[in-house]
Amino acid sequence: MDEDVCVTLEIDEEGHGHLKFELPPGTPEHEIAYFQTLVLSERLGSIELVDPVTHEVIYFLRPTILH
């Protein structure tokens, strides 16, 4: 993935989260389709996107509380 990708994690008052990615302009359709197949996994304070076929972690995020 390109470093222009924007990741937004929103948590509501009830502790439910929404993870949003913005891919850079010109991202090929096959990469977008693959990205949409990834499975979200939350554990031990981290968020992972996992390939459903190989179970390889494709993306790893460890949020930090700033306030």
Give the pLDDT score at 30. 93
Q: pLDDT tens digits, residue range 9-19?
A: 676 777 666 76
Q: Distance of alpha carbon 59 from its chain centroid, rounded? A: 6
Count structural domains, the chain: 1
* 45 found inside a domain: yes
* 57 found inside a domain: yes
* 34 found inside a domain: yes
From residue 15, give the alpha-carbon distance in Å to each of 9, 19, 20, 62, 65.
12, 13, 16, 16, 13
Q: pLDDT tens digits, residue range 21-50?
A: 788 888 899 988 898 888 888 777 788 889
As a whole number of angstroms, the distance between CA 54 and CA 51 comes to 6
* 1 found inside a domain: no
* 50 found inside a domain: yes
From residue 28, give the alpha-carbon distance in Å to each of 21, 24, 31, 38, 62.
15, 10, 5, 16, 27
* 11 found inside a domain: yes
* 66 found inside a domain: no
What's the whole-model pTM score? 0.61
**What domain range includes position 39?**
6-61
